Amino acid sequence: MWRAVCALLLSAAAAHAEPPPGQLVPVFDTVLHLNCTGSGAPAVVLEAGLAGNYLDWTLVQPQLAASTRVCSYDRAGAGYSARTARPRLAAAIAEELHELVRAGGLARPFVLVGHSFGGLIAATYARDYSDDLAALVLLDAMHPAQFDAFAAAGVYVETDPHLVIGRTSGFAATYKLPESLHRLAMDLALTDSARVFVFREMARMIDSAHALGTAPLPHLPARVLVHGNGEWRDVPPAGQMETVWTALQADYAARLGAPPPEVVVDSGHQIALDAPDAVVTAVLAVVAGYRENTTTASSRADHKN
């Protein structure tokens, strides 16, 4: 067993010219790259969107690390993480993250931040492991009802992974990143492993959405951010995709008992890269709320004693 784990560790690290910035952690049948910086509680865990990896948080993680512990990671097959035979359903990925948090020694409860498909994973995590979470922050998160809602509004969204992956340039991975990271971002995005696992996640994406369903989500401190630059306004029929998306984000907030979604006016879908300051502000707000509540509870306990 340990010989196999060591082989996975070596293959995950050796697949790229540059060493990973974080640690490689054995999780089930794979090894996941966990990149933690900063110190303090609660920790913040960052879940990237489809085809993403730890680099998606380049503009956010350093700012958060100035105030608390923050960890980005690569899902199986992405970035510096090894492959897995496990299904690429959101529930399975959430279970892998749950184990990564334990094996990586992260203190719970923590704040979970999810973008796009990563938001669907984060919401699934909240459903399955709510006791792990101090708070939840969703960034333009994929909604479990979005495919049905788009179809009802006459909005066509391509979900065939063959077509989507074939039309996507590796240069897309460099979006808004510092130029010094462009080569690494493209190298990570264009590996056979990364492309295979984007395909596998996309192939089960609708199943992942339907599996979360419309059941109530746990009410916990949460924030929902939605892009506000109208980048989808011209998707036919004109304006409908933006309208449906905004309504879905409001539904997320209601199901979580969160404030109404914050519209990030100058941001497109890639909120963590378009408007990192807005993400940092939202995350630090729930971190501060958790700390205040913990201090208050501790003071009350001391007073009773």
Domain assignment present for 65:
yes
Are residues 269 and 227 in contact, defined by beta-carbon separation less than 8 angstroms?
A: yes
Domain assignment present for 305:
no
Q: Where does the chain have alpha helices with state H? A: 2-14, 61-65, 90-103, 117-128, 146-152, 161-167, 182-189, 192-203, 205-212, 240-256, 271-274, 276-304
Domain assignment present for 131:
yes
The pLDDT of residue 17: 60
Q: Structural domain of residue 280, as residue ranges?
A: 2-299
Gap between the Cα atoms of 161 and 140, Å rounded? 21
The pLDDT of residue 87: 97
State the total domains in the chain.
Answer: 1
The pLDDT of residue 18: 83
State how far the alpha carbon of 203 is from the alpha carbons of 127, 135, 166, in Å.
Answer: 22, 29, 14
Q: Which CATH number do you get for residue 279?
A: 3.40.50.1820
Average pLDDT per run of 10 along the chain, which is 305 residues long?
47 64 98 98 98 97 98 98 98 98 97 98 97 98 96 91 72 94 95 94 95 88 97 92 97 95 97 98 98 77 60
The pLDDT of residue 64: 98
Q: What are phi and psi of 273, to 5 degrees?
A: -100, -35
Domain assignment present for 304:
no
Domain assignment present for 82:
yes
Token pair recorded at residue 267: 């941001």
The pLDDT of residue 214: 78
